[in-house]
Amino acid sequence: MPHILHIDASARPGISGTDHHGSHSRRLSHHFVSQWQSRLLQDTVTYRDIGQHPPSFINHDWIASAFTLEEQREPWMKDALAESDQLVDELIASDIVVIGTPLYNFGMPAALKAWVDQIIRAERTVGVDKTNLHDSYTPKLTDRERHAVVLTARGGVNMAPGEEMAHMNHLEPNLALALEFVGITRLHYIAIEGQEVGGEVLAKSVAEALQKVERLVGELQVALNATPIHEPA
């Protein structure tokens, strides 16, 4: 029974199409989860709204604690890592990570970067071999197949890999590197573009993205051998 970790990183609290100035990335992520659960009622979801409740930035205490062997940590070190431990536990428990995020100034929002910094943890999500300088890192989230669904919203257009403005988009490449670093290599991308243009360009992009989300839900449910459980009549 797959478990979904649903993360929203947009600074906008509402959902486009429903709320004034609502978030397009939230619209995609909520559409994915609602479509999934409409077909598979038994599957569970952990929701974390880091756009409205950002994770803490790492600081000196965090670094000192994370790079101290667990059995040698003092009580204050355990406190310093408590939030990170919870975020890592949520990630480890998931089979699908659904990330709804806008593209802000060429990259990911600060809240999403803070989440990435909290979940890349030595000996929790990444093994570290200090004796091997050339191949010292080993992803630890390889115990089972995990997928990441990255659902983005961009103000500009033609920013996908290989397109004219791709050089200005460092969101997906950066996030992919972080996820692959911990062992999540099955990545799926859907984007809404043209938010700054608006009009028919944006409307067409939204409609196409919502259709892609629905197709991806079906494909992943087949890939994960998920079996629907229908409500009684």
Q: Is 38 annotated as a binding residue?
A: no
**Widest distance between CA atoms in the chain:** 62
10 is in an annotated binding site: yes
Q: Which two tokens stand for residue 18?
A: 């429903």
d(CA 38, CA 8): 20
Coil, helix or strand for 14? Answer: coil
Q: Is 205 annotated as a binding residue?
A: no
Other C-beta atoms within 10 Å of 230: how many? 8
Q: Report DSSP letters for 208-233, one per residue.
A: HHHHHHHHHHHHHHHHTT----PPP-
Return d(Cα 50, Cα 110) in angstroms, integer. Answer: 10
> What residue type is assigned to position 227 of the chain?
T
Check the annotation: does 134 bind a ligand. Answer: no
Residue positions in the annotated binding site?
10, 23-25
Residue positions in the annotated binding site for FMN?
10, 23-25
